[in-house]
Structure 1
Amino acid sequence: MAFQIKQKGPVYDICIVGSGAGGGMAAKILSEAGLKIALLEAGPKYDPADPQQITQLKWPYASPRRGATTTRPFGDFDAAYGGWEIEGEPYTAKDGTKFDWFRSRMVGGRTNHWGRISLRFGPRDFKHKSYDGLGDDWPLSYEDVAPYYDRVDKMIGVFGTREGMANEPDGFFLPPPKPRLHELMLKKAGDKLKIPVITSRMSMLTRPVNKERSACFFCGQCNRGCQVYADFSSSSVLVKPAMKSGHVDLYDNAMAREVLTDKEGKATGVAYVDKTDLQEYVVNARVIVLAASACESARLLLNSKSSRFPNGLANSSNVVGKYLHDSTGSSRAAFMPQLVGRKRYNEDGVGGMHVYIPWWEDNKKLDFARGYHIEFGGGMRMPSYGGFTGIDRLNGKYPGSDGKIKPAGGYGVALKDDYRHFYGATVGMAGRGECIAREDNYCEIDPKVVDKWGIPVLRFNYTWSDHEIKQAKHMQDTFDQLIHEMGGVPLGTKPGPETNYGLETPGRIIHEVGTTRMGDDPKRSVLNKYNQAHDVKNLFVVDGGPFVSQADKNPTWTILALSLRASEYMMSELKKQNL
């Protein structure tokens, strides 16, 4: 694909690629300092309060895709413009391995639909090698990051309770919502098993933190985008105020192709394809910040080749794209006979769980390293389009709406009656755990395939190790214990070794990190502890790529904290004229 390259805008102080958690935070902090910023986003503008984009509080039958063969990945009104597959934007896999790569092409990226589970990494999570000898320690500690976690808590808002757990650091919490009925049952079961079931830590406002955002009104539809900005999305909470500063120029529908450099190897700008006119443009800046997601930022660096950087930009270590790892995931559902025919009342709450289980075991007593947490679903919330209760798996063990024991469901009136009868009587459990970062899990440039913009695509090589498989078995055994103590009946067959105990395909949990890892040794890492490239001092990466290891927590809160820290370091270095 041939393009005529055109200059766009002035020479900016900062060019940021990607507007999700890391890019949004950088845009907010740097714009508040008065720096002139170009913010590049591969998708369109997005505002959940825009009348043309509102998907909240709509009935399933109002779906614009009603009758189509597919919906959006997480529901028909899901605030995610993208998915694991995007037309014209393929990726490939190597040697029969599998990796499913989720992309969300819109301002705010994947923060618009995420579960908003907002957990800090703990002291051990930054120093796991020192504990179990596997992987590598981070070049920084929890104490280095804690002040930035504190500021993110106060800036964005997160509810929770102080628990005093050693590797589950407490923060500055808003009051949490009350547990739902099935969650109270889970808490009772956890107490019997000596498994901690504690209040969730999630970034929905149970009371306002500023004048721009209202408190949650408990519709339970956070994945649809919040009209009152009560939940955290980068688009609403970071990019919107950054734009109001007057210091940010947003380039939407800008598909970044390459980071440009001069003869001295200094980054000078970003070349991108405008998806609306198919022309190629260049934005020049004094500092380049990549925040396009762990894999997309690695793709950009690997595609940014020159005589000085023949192996890709900032890649003298040959580490860019390596040590890719996603959270583990395995799940189970159960039918709760005691919840059949329960009283109907509003049990929506926030969009997601009100309680969860943090990692509680001592790995030195187990046959696998690292841990996981357990997320729960259930209750009487509005059914999603096409998603009900799994009643077809009851196999005629329990009386239906007519009092007879027979296979649930069927057609017409009987089906509707059984849905009403059984709805709200199921509980879902999902483990989300830590995968050990390995050099042989990686993404690289496919030498033969390009996307519809003419940009070479990624090729993935990824396998699970025995540690992750054994961890999934532990998840399933724990689910069984909880279901038994709750008096429930497991739905379906328990996953066994033939399916790696239900372990999800890599990438399916959408927590991928580690492709531009930080470290003190430039021969074994891409960035230093301030997210700055060892090889290119005016290049930073502030998404999940810098992670040395994933914890048994969701990565977003750590991305936000490290981006805040890196942004302030950038400002300091700019003042010293070091960049």
Structure 2
Amino acid sequence: MPFLDTSKTRSPRYDVVIIGSGAAGGMAAYVLAKAGVKVLMLEAGRKYDPATETPMFETNADAPLRGVDTPDKPNGFFDATIGGWTVKGEPYVVENQKEKTWVEGAFQNRNKTDQGFMWWRARMLGGRTNHWGRVSLRLGPLDFKPKSFDGLGFDWPISYEDVAPYYDQVDQLIGVFGSKEGLENNPDSDFFQPPPKPRAYEHLIMRGGKKLGIPVVASRLAILTKPINGRAACFYATSCGRGCAIRANFQSTTVLIPPALETGNLDILTGAMAREVTLDAQGRATGVHFIDTATGKEEHVAARAVILGASACESARLLMNSKSAKFPQGLGNSTGHLGRWLTDSTGSDLGGQIPALENMPLHNEDGTSNMHTYGPWVKHHEAKAGKLGFPRGYYLAWGGGRTMPGMGAATSSLLGNVYGKKLKEEARRYYGSFVSISCRGEMIPNEQSYMELDPEKKDQWGIPVARFHFKWSDYELKQVAYAQQNFADLIEAAGGKVTRPPEKDGSKAITAGGSVKHEIGVTRMSAEPKDGVTNSFGQLWDCQNVVVADGGVFVSGPYKNPTLTILALAWRACDRLIDGMKKGEIAAPV
């Protein structure tokens, strides 16, 4: 069976062992297994099957506490999350910026920015791909060369042209809807699926955007609007965050892992917590030590090469814990860049109410669980010229309409002190008339944002835990303050009223570091060993048969969600690995 017991594996030595099963790990398994490479995947969490575990047709009334967020289910009861901000027995440590003290990371308040850094970890097969927002934006030419454009941050050692063929392949494999717009630094795809039509509130936002000169165009989401590769189109049953039993959205567990298993070349061990990459005397990787989480027993698997796809910070922690006589500061850390340059996307939001949407007659508001339209950033040159007061931008996203109500849906200052029949009438009047606009913006890497190992604290498996330092710079604070006014202008141009004044203090408007869950950069690629951790194909400069395939290799943190690029870069890295293994250039000795 391809799903194995950790007490034994089908092979004494695999070609490749992959750590992690999400976007990076899943794509690596797909590409390698399809090429005939014998692969073992290690997943720290449990097995998960969306086909049988997705609550497609259950309502919030069927859930405990009407489905509200809890520490164990931070995105709501039905969300396809095993893990979260806090994982039992697996602490991490953060620097409290206000008090300058070290505290264990167990935070739930994403709006409390002085708490340090929030680290989201999935503990399930498929990782975060089971519940992500499916926003699939390509990085553009300026995103790969930001320092050359405005003098800030760092350039990637690759260009858009290097990655574009892999974006094309990913689009054709997973399915992304969108529209060609021809906007600078927002590359179109020749393989977009047809986008769904805008909803009523989105038409009003489009009208407001036209007044303000803000482009409002079709979103780009990894959700099928027509069948592809044997997968059915979305029929608008439920939130994508629950997972998808019919495979209409992209999840590693439905799109990448099943075809990889069908080749017979992939074995999977769940409940396998990787502890360190093992090395020989020459510093070449020979396999991975891991903990069987069911028994607590330490085991080892041998392999010719190792791929890290555990998520950026988890992969960096693993490398830091992979110490040897040759690499006393951790594998990949010979030039001191491991764990440095941690970034996350900025986040901020503002709500409003649109009177034109009150008492709307019942109408079809079916659609995907995310916005059908969005506002791409187009002010690159204005920002570069200093006209905006900050150097890097953001895109606009929104939500509204008659989505499934949850607890508090009828709670509003607009309702007044009413009860009984009047309360029901007022709730029906205002239901569906509220909108929320948010941004996802670029963070420029800074030296005060990084991770390291805590010198004392260990997790329940005896593995040293991560310790985070994080700080937004004035660039990001000014960006979200500008965005707040942008939100208010757009709501008012759409005929609405903001529910509170826009926040002018960026430190109060921005969400906590890590809360957007786009953490990247801690194992960045570089053109020269002195400037990073990996080469342009994700291979460690210190050890060529170890490949980092997740978001840790990002050199900058563009305002575009990273998953699509992780998928493309992982595919590219695996093609290089396959070629190197065929030529005998990349392999541990037999």
TM norm structure 2: 0.92
Q: Are 1:174 and 2:176 matched, yes or no?
A: no
Choose the corresponding residue for 1:392, options 412, 415, 431. 412
Whether the 8 Å contact between 2:56 and 2:244 is mirrored in structure 1 is yes
Does 1:489 find its partner at 2:511? no
Shifted more, 363-372 versus 157-166: the winner is 363-372
For each residue in 1:198-220, what CA deviation from the matched residue of structure 2 results, as whole angstroms up to 9, or x when unmatched? 10000101001112x11110124
8 Å contact from structure 2 (residues 60, 67) kept in 1: no
Q: Residue 77 of structure 1 corresponds to which residue in structure 2?
A: 78
Aligned residues between the structures: 557
Write the distance in 2 (CA, Å) between the matches of 1:433 and 1:193: 20
Name the CA distance, whole Å, in 1 between partners of 2:263 and 2:330: 35
Instruction: Report the Cα distance in structure 1 between the residues aligned to 2:59 and 2:558, rounded to whole angstroms.
Output: 37
Structure 1's unaligned 5+ residue stretches are 395-399, 401-405
| Matched-pair contact (CA < 8 Å) for 2:525–2:553 | yes
Conservation of the 8 A alpha-carbon contact between 1:17 and 1:39: yes
Shift of 1:66: 5.3
The aligned counterpart of 2:390 is 368
Structure 1 residue 62 and structure 2 residue 62: aligned? yes
The runs of 5 or more residues in structure 2 that have no matched partner are: 1-5, 102-114
Letter in 2 for 1:349: G
In the TM superposition, 1:125-140 aligns within 5 A as: 125-140=143-158
C-alpha distance in structure 1 between counterparts of 2:522 and 2:69, whole Å: 35
CA deviation string 1:357-376 (max 9, x = no partner): 00021212221111100111
Q: Give the AA of the match of 1:430.
A: S
Give me the whole-angstrom Cα distance separating, in 1, the residues matched to 2:419 and 2:37.
Answer: 62
- State the distance in 2 between where 1:72 and 1:280 align: 30
Determine the structure 1 residue equivalent to 2:207. 188
Deviation per residue, 1:442-476 (Å, 9 max, x gap): 01101111111211111000000000000001110
Counterpart of 1:424 in structure 2: which amino acid?
Answer: G
Q: Distance in 1 between matches of 2:144 and 2:79?
A: 33
Equivalent positions of 1:465-480 (< 5 A) are: 465-480=473-488
Contact 2:67 2:78 in 1 (8 A): no
Matched residue, 1:41:
43
Match of 1:17 among 16, 19, 35: 19
Contact 2:67 2:77 in 1 (8 A): no
Quote the Cα distance in structure 1 between the aligned partners of 2:320 and 2:181.
Answer: 43
1:570 and 1:303 map into 2 onto residues whose CA distance is: 24
- Give 1:415 shift: 4.6
Question: Contact conserved, 2:184 with 2:378, CA < 8 A, in 1?
Answer: no
Deviation at 1:494, TM superposition (A): 2.8
Instruction: Give 2:472's match in structure 1, choosing from 464, 489, 500.
Output: 464
Alignment partner of 1:515 out of 518, 522, 547: 522
1:413 and 1:573 map into 2 onto residues whose CA distance is 72
1:428-439 superposed matches below 5 A: 428-439=436-447
Aligned pair partner of 1:424 in 422, 432, 439: 432
Partner SS for 1:49: helix
Q: State how far apart, in whole Å, the 1-side matches of 2:459 and 2:575 are.
A: 36
1:103-122 map, 5 Å: 103-122=121-140
Match status 1:225 vs 2:243:
yes
Paired with 2:69 and 2:266, the residues of 1 have a C-alpha distance of 40
> What secondary structure does 2:33 align onto?
helix
Pairwise CA distance, 1:324: 0.4
Q: Quick one: distance in 2 between partners of 1:393 and 1:82?
A: 35
2:511 corresponds to which letter in structure 1?
Answer: E
SS at structure 2 position matched to 1:567 = helix
Provide the C-alpha distance between the structure 1 equivalents of 2:421 and 2:87, rounded to a whole number of angstroms.
38
Q: Which moved more, 1:30-39 or 1:70-79?
A: 70-79
Match of 1:197?
216
1-structure distance, mates of 2:308, 2:317: 11
Separation (CA, whole Å) in 2 of partners of 1:69 and 1:323: 31
Match 2:339 to one of 313, 321, 331: 321
Residue number in structure 2 paired with 1:383: 405
- Structure 1 residues 276, 412: CA separation in 2 closer, same or farther (over 3 Å shift)? farther
Could you tell me how far 1:59 is from its partner in structure 2?
1.3
What CA RMSD, in Å, does the superposition of the two structures yield over aligned residues?
1.7
Identify the match of residue 528 of structure 1 among 524, 535, 542: 535
Residue of structure 1 equivalent to 2:28: 26
Contact 1:113–1:225 under 8 Å retained in 2: yes
Question: How far is the alpha carbon of 1:348 from its aligned partner?
Answer: 2.8
By how many angstroms is 1:416 displaced?
4.4
What code does the residue aligned with 2:29 have?
A: A
Shift in alpha-carbon separation, 1:263–1:228, aligned structure 2, 3 A: same
Q: Which region of structure 1 is more displaced relative to structure 2, 482-491 or 525-534?
A: 482-491
Q: Paired residue for 2:306?
A: 288
- Which residue is equivalent to 1:89? 90
SS of 1:282 mapped into structure 2: strand
Matches within 5 A, 1:194-273: 194-211=213-230, 213-273=231-291
Q: Do 1:393 and 1:492's aligned partners in 2 also have CA atoms closer than 8 Å?
A: no
* Counterpart code for 1:106: M
Matched letter for residue 388 of structure 1: A
Secondary structure in 2 matching 1:570:
helix
Which residue among 522, 546, 556 is the counterpart of 1:549?
Answer: 556
Moved more, 247-256 or 414-423: 414-423
Q: What SS class does the counterpart of residue 395 from structure 2 fall into?
A: strand
Query: Relative to 1, partners in 2 of residues 1:92 and 1:569: Cα closer, same or farther, differing over 3 Å?
Result: same
Tell me, in whole angstroms, the C-alpha distance in 2 between the residues paired with 1:220 and 1:551.
Answer: 30
Partner of 1:444 in structure 2?
452
Q: What CA distance in whole angstroms lies between the structure 1 residues aligned with 2:419 and 2:46? A: 42
Distance 1:387-1:515 versus aligned 2 partners, 3 A rule: farther
Q: 1:140-155 to 2 correspondence within 5 Å? A: 140-155=158-173
